[in-house]
Each structure stands twice: as structure tokens, then as C-alpha cells.
Amino acid sequence: MAMTDITFVLIFLPVLLLVIAFKYSLQKYALLLLSLFYYACGSPRYFVLLLEMLVINISLAYFIEKSTNRRKLSFMILTIGILINVGVLFYYKYFDFVIEGTNQVFGTVFTARDLLLPMGISFFSFKAISLLIDVYKGTVVMERNPIYSALYLSFFGQIVSGPICRYNEFYKNTGFNGSTIFSWNSFADGGYLFVKGFIKKVLFANILSLISTEVFSMDLVETSAPLLWLGAICYSLQLFYDFSGYSDMAIGIGNMFGIACPKNFDYPYMTKSISEFWRRWHITLGAWFRDYIYIPLGGSRVDSRIRLYFNLFVVWLLTGIWHGANWTFIFWGFSYFIAISFEKTFHFPDCLRQKWSREIYRILVLGFINFQWVIFNSANLHAGLSYVKHMLIGYGYEVANIRTVVLLKEYGVIIFAAIIFATPISSWLKTTLEFKGKRIAMCTECVMATFMGILFIFALSSVIAGQNNPFLYGNF
């Protein structure tokens, strides 16, 4: 049951909103029950596994906190907790990949399990590990009532595709004092984010997917460079609107109940460098790897370049592996390691003095990111590299060129709008109009609210008509 399913919007969400009428202490119980119900509907086969992992992680967190005076014991418990979470993640996500690779390299005949991936296993594991580490470091104090920890780990808004929120961020606005945290401002902000994310997913990501799916499924000998570029650009935009749309919806629902989470996207395609791109894209994942992998390894404050490159290599290797059990993701992560190492070594783009040279570099960065998304979306590494090759030296199949024109005529307005709204033009317009006076600003907000309402109704009608597909990042 995705957040854009008609069942979620017209049944689950209204029931969820009734929880607002509950007392603060009862809200947490109701949200936990709804989160467990949500998971049972989405991944019934692994519902018991979720319950087991909740009990194990919460118990270990309490044991770590109780043994803070015995540092070796608490570290041993922390290690056990990390190994359990990593072990479960490895078994369900990477076991078959390792078995198949072993068979290919050594000629063995081990049998793969063909395991289905538990819903949100990657995000759950990272949140659980962060909780255990933060308790060990003393930055998180476990609440006596385990409901708080259980809700943090299983909250339906974040378990499928993140964002990877920290425990202290999750409960930033509560204070555990039992007082109500509902406010109309927070509710309105959350509702706006939910509607915004819903529109992103249904009216942009879903429509762009029609183009990208068609192009990526074609035989390369029947394509042309223009058609392949169109498919790649549409996929880049589709992935952005799909994932940022989910993040907006998840953060918005949390805001309705006083659950805080930092933003996950900051107009990533406005980047000036590859390093900056990853400070704008999937921000919570980047922050997780920074705080729990990169900095403990020494970060950038190391004595030698070799150690710096090693730290970057580990982070980007794990980033690639985290996204999936395929050589495409490993290559994708390794490519970003090479690119970011290059920028750090030669101080790009700061070393470029002329504005025109910085703009050229920005274009090259966007091209690199686009090529990377092609690899990311390909079934295997050979297919991805072949796609990129044909983007640069395509056959120019005439029928494919005609199809490119047809697609641009049919979807050109959507593609253009997707490009425009991937920039901070709306924020710029709002800021500009605020300087014109309060009356103009209020009128602008009314117009925008009406416009968003119309788009939401149109998007909802598309979902009712059956034009819906799951969130892409639910697969990772």
C-alpha cells in the first residue's frame, strides 16, 4: 500500500487523521498500531521478522544504556547489534548475489534462495544501527516506555523509502513530557508537503516513467542518440520527482503529528559540483554515511592522501552496495568515488576563476550525473555502458528519431515543467513577491493554494483511474 494508492489516500489517511483527536500519550500507541498494520499489508510475509527485529534492537539499546559504566560490555552489545542488523540485511538483500558471484568465479553449484526483499529493510537497518550507536555514545537517552523506540523504527511514513531520520530528530518537538504537540501551523505545513509530494509523484514521476520505461526497454540498434538522451533525462527527472515526492509526503505526515525530520532534497540538479550534488540529494543517507562511517574512519582530517582516498572509497563502495545487489550499483558507487576524489585533489570547481569555465564544468557535472543514472537504471553493467555508448555515438535509426519528435510533442509540456520546477523558481518567486507587500504576498499564497488544490484533485483522479505505480526507492 503505497502512499499514492487510492486505499491509502481515501481510507488509511482519514483514519490516521482521526488520531490527532487522541491524547498525546495515546497518539503514539495509535501511530504504532497503524504503522504495524501498514507493514503487515505491504509485506505480510516478513511481518514477524519486523516484530522480532523491533524486540531485538530495542532490548539491545536498553542493555547498552544500562551497561554504560562497563564500556567493554556495552561495546560488545553494540557490536552484536550491528552484526545482527547487517546480517539480516545481507541475508535478504545480498545472499543470492554473493552465491551467484561465487558460482561464476569458482565454478561451484551453490543454490540461490530467490528471497523476496522485506519492505524497507535497508532503511530499517540503518535507523536501528544509528539508534544503537547513539545510545552507546550517550547522545540518545532511551525513554522508559519502549513504544517510543518501536514507533521510531517502524513509523510507516519512513520505513519504505526513508528519510533516514535520527531518534533525536524524530522526537525533536516532543520533549517526552506527555503534553499535546498538535498545532495548526505544523498540521498545515505537513498537509502542504503531503500534497506537494503527491503531485510530484503522480503528475510528474509517473508520466515521465512512460517515456523512460519505453526507451530503456528498446533494443539499442533500433534507437538513436536523441531518443536515448530523452530517455536518460526523463529518468533523471523521474527519479528526482519520485523520491523527493515520497520524502515530502513522509515528512509532511510526520509534521502533522509533531514528528520532525530534516529535508531530504535541496534542488540537487542546481549543483555546481559532484560533491555538492550529494549534499543536496538524499541528504539523510549522505549524513548517515558521514557520521557513522566517514568521520569514524578519520574523514578528511587525515595525515595522508592515501588514507583520505581509502575513507572515500569505503563510503562510496558501501553507498553503491546499499542501493542494491548488482554490479551496476558497485560501478555506480565507484564512479562517484573517482569523481569526488578528483574534485578534492584538484579543488574543483573552486580552482576555476572564470564564470564561463565554472558553467561549463556544471554542464559536465550534470552530464556525468545523467550517465550515472543510466547505469543505475540498467539491468546489468554491460547494458548500462552500452546505453551510454550509444548516447554518445548512436546509430541514428530514423524511426527512433521520428519517435523522439512524437514523444516531445506529446509530453513536451510535462518535461519542460519538470525541468523548471526542479529549480528553486517557486521559492524565488515567493521571496520576490513578499518584498512587494503583505497584500500581494497573501494573494499569491491564495492563488498557489488554489492551484495546488486543483493539481491535487487532478492527481487524485489519475490515481482513481488506475494510473499509479510504486515508488522507485521502495526497491532499495
Domain-located, residue 69: yes
Q: In this model, does residue 222 exceed pLDDT 60? A: yes
Q: In this model, does residue 78 exceed pLDDT 90? A: yes
Q: Note whether 122 and 247 are same-domain residues.
A: no
Q: Which residues touch 352 (CB under 8 Å, ≥6 apart)?
A: 358, 361
In terms of Cβ atoms closer than 10 Å to its own Cβ (0-12, 13-18, 19+), residue 162 is: buried
Q: Note whether 86 and 159 are same-domain residues.
A: yes
Given phi > 0 = left and psi -120 to 50 = alpha, else beta, which region is 451?
alpha
pLDDT confidence of residue 8:
86
Which band of pLDDT confidence, cut at 50, 70 and 90, is reported for residue 181? low
pLDDT confidence of residue 24:
65
Which band of pLDDT confidence, cut at 50, 70 and 90, is reported for residue 228? very high
pLDDT confidence of residue 182:
59
Question: What residue type is 157 in one-letter code?
Answer: G
pLDDT confidence of residue 172:
78
Q: By the 8 A CB rule, do 187 and 195 touch?
A: no
Which band of pLDDT confidence, cut at 50, 70 and 90, is reported for residue 409? very high
Q: Which residues touch 456 (CB under 8 Å, ≥6 apart)?
A: 195, 198, 199
Would you call 394 helix, strand, or coil by DSSP? coil
Q: Note whether 162 and 195 are same-domain residues.
A: no
Q: Note whether 46 and 143 are same-domain residues.
A: yes
Q: In this model, does residue 185 exceed pLDDT 50? A: yes
Determine how many CB atoms are found less than 10 A away from the CB of residue 172: 15
Cell 578534492 appears where?
Answer: 344
Render pLDDT for 108-167 as a digit per residue (tens, 0 to 9). Answer: 888 888 888 899 899 999 999 999 999 999 999 988 889 999 999 999 988 888 799 999
Q: In this model, does residue 419 exceed pLDDT 80? A: yes
C-alpha–C-alpha distance, residues 400 and 407, integer Å: 10
pLDDT confidence of residue 441:
64
Domain-located, residue 288: no
Q: In this model, does residue 242 exceed pLDDT 70? A: yes
Active-site residue flag, 323 = yes
Q: In this model, does residue 468 exceed pLDDT 80? A: no
**Percentage above 70 pLDDT, the chain:** 92
Q: In this model, does residue 439 exceed pLDDT 70? A: no
Domain-located, residue 296: no
Q: Note whether 174 and 200 are same-domain residues.
A: no
**Percentage above 90 pLDDT, the chain:** 60
Q: Note whether 411 and 354 are same-domain residues.
A: yes
More confident residue, 263 or 369: 369
Q: In this model, does residue 261 exceed pLDDT 60? A: yes
Q: By the 8 A CB rule, do 121 and 162 touch?
A: no
Of 181, 202, 223, which residue sits at a domain end?
181
Render pLDDT for 449-466 as a digit per residue (tens, 0 to 9). Answer: 788 888 888 888 888 877
Which band of pLDDT confidence, cut at 50, 70 and 90, is reported for residue 177? very low
Q: Note whether 17 and 38 are same-domain residues.
A: yes
Which band of pLDDT confidence, cut at 50, 70 and 90, is reported for residue 436? low
Domain-located, residue 476: no
For the chain, give the mean pLDDT. Answer: 88
More confident residue, 271 or 256: 271
Domain that residue 263 falls in: 187-272+349-464
For residues 303-307, give the mean pLDDT: 89
C-alpha pair distances (Å), 179 with each of 4, 59, 174, 175, 252: 32, 26, 8, 9, 21
Q: By the 8 A CB rule, do 96 and 114 touch?
A: yes
Would you call 423 helix, strand, or coil by DSSP? coil
| Window from 2-6, 29-33, 370-374, 427-431 with minimum mean pLDDT | 427-431
Q: Note whether 209 and 87 are same-domain residues.
A: no
pTM above 0.85?
A: yes
* Alpha helices (H) in 324-437, listed in sequence order: 327-346, 355-376, 381-392, 398-421, 425-434
Give ∠ CA 350-354-359 in degrees, rounded to 5: 80
Domain-located, residue 471: no
Helix (H) or strand (E) holding 19, with range, is: none
C-alpha–C-alpha distance, residues 343 and 308, integer Å: 13
> Which of 232, 472, 297, 85 lies closest to 316 in space, CA to CA?
297
Cell 561549463 appears where?
Answer: 360
Domain-located, residue 171: yes
Of 134, 164, 181, which residue sits at a domain end?
181
Which band of pLDDT confidence, cut at 50, 70 and 90, is reported for residue 173? low
pLDDT confidence of residue 467:
61
C-alpha–C-alpha distance, residues 455 and 192, integer Å: 12
Of 132, 156, 181, which residue sits at a domain end?
181
Q: In this model, does residue 396 exceed pLDDT 90? A: no
C-alpha–C-alpha distance, residues 80 and 66, integer Å: 16
Cell 515521465 appears where?
Answer: 208
Q: How many domains does the chain have?
A: 2
For residues 9-24, give the mean pLDDT: 79
Q: In this model, does residue 178 exceed pLDDT 60? A: no
Q: Note whether 77 and 217 are same-domain residues.
A: no
pLDDT confidence of residue 30:
87
Q: What is the DSSP string of 115-142?
A: PPPPTTHHHHHHHHHHHHHHHHHTS---
Q: By the 8 A CB rule, do 176 and 148 touch?
A: yes
Point out the catalytic residue in the list 282, 323, 347, 390: 323
Domain-located, residue 448: yes
C-alpha–C-alpha distance, residues 457 and 324, integer Å: 35
Q: Note whether 256 and 365 are same-domain residues.
A: yes
C-alpha–C-alpha distance, residues 209 and 236, integer Å: 10
Q: Note whether 263 and 377 are same-domain residues.
A: yes
Q: Note whether 101 and 193 are same-domain residues.
A: no
Domain-located, residue 403: yes
Longest Cα–Cα distance in the chain: 74
Which band of pLDDT confidence, cut at 50, 70 and 90, is reported for residue 180? very low
